Chain A
């Protein structure tokens, strides 16, 4: 079992839709959870990170962690064509950082 698992998609939505991206993780000791956005042929870019359970909001993006179910979510409101990218979830375990495989998102104008 991988430490962090993510549905690779691809996911295609119309502009303005609410997008839900999800990951699960295996180790209940994980405390920090990150979401990165990666455009084609670019390095990942940090969107936000959260600690333990709860929600964190930044503009159109909301990250949510449910430690009871080991579930990580990223919600994108009012999605834009510029949001088209691969979204990576990640978690920190000790000195290691574990990334999901990424979900490819396309927002259609």
Chain B
């Protein structure tokens, strides 16, 4: 069974530029999560999708971050414009059930904002 795929693996941009990350969850997993993990910290949940609907986006900085999962499979997370403090690893995870106790994580995208 293929795992959660993410791309790109690394991205370096200048502040005020925009960037997009892509995630393909495990086949059949209806629930998809985007996390931000700043160096030395635990992952912070940004947004959770159930199929193509948003379950929770209370921690998403909506003035600059957006995410979509149009067909209930792949998802993209966008930052526009980026700030220095957005430098982090962006992790995508998926789970079979909405309860989310068994989440499977992708390798993450390491973003550096200069």
Q: Which residues does A use to contact B, with CB under 8 Å?
A: 4, 6, 8, 32, 34, 36, 41-46, 49, 88, 90, 92, 94-97, 99-102
Q: For the complex formed, measure the closest distance between the CB of B34 and the CB atoms of chain A, giving whole angstroms.
A: 12
Residues of chain B within 8 A of A102, CB atoms compared: 41-42
- Report whether B108 and A97 are in contact in the complex, using a CB–CB cutoff of 8 Å: no
Interface CB pairs A-B, < 8 A, 8: A43-B91, A43-B93, A43-B106, A43-B107, A44-B43, A88-B42, A92-B99, A95-B55
A92 CA to B48 CA in the complex, in Å?
13
- Report whether A97 and B4 are in contact in the complex, using a CB–CB cutoff of 8 Å: no
A97 CA to B43 CA in the complex, in Å?
9
A interface, over-half SS: strand
Q: Which residues does B use to contact A, with CB under 8 Å?
A: 4, 33, 40-45, 48, 55-56, 58-59, 91, 93, 99-108, 110
B interface, over-half SS: loop
- Report whether A96 and B45 are in contact in the complex, using a CB–CB cutoff of 8 Å: yes
- Report whether B56 and A96 are in contact in the complex, using a CB–CB cutoff of 8 Å: yes
A77 CA to B107 CA in the complex, in Å?
27
Contact of B105 among A4, A32, A43, A94 (CB under 8 A): A43
Residues of chain A within 8 A of B58, CB atoms compared: 96
Identify the closest chain B residue to A86 (Cβ).
Answer: B42
Identify the closest chain A residue to B4 (Cβ).
Answer: A43
A66 CA to B83 CA in the complex, in Å?
41
Identify the closest chain A residue to B101 (Cβ).
Answer: A49
Residues of chain B within 8 A of A43, CB atoms compared: 4, 91, 93, 105-108
Q: For the complex formed, measure the closest distance between the CB of B57 and the CB atoms of chain A, giving whole angstroms.
A: 10
Q: For the complex formed, measure the closest distance between the CB of A91 and the CB atoms of chain B, giving whole angstroms.
A: 10
- Report whether B56 and A34 are in contact in the complex, using a CB–CB cutoff of 8 Å: no
Q: For the complex formed, measure the closest distance between the CB of A61 and the CB atoms of chain B, giving whole angstroms.
A: 15
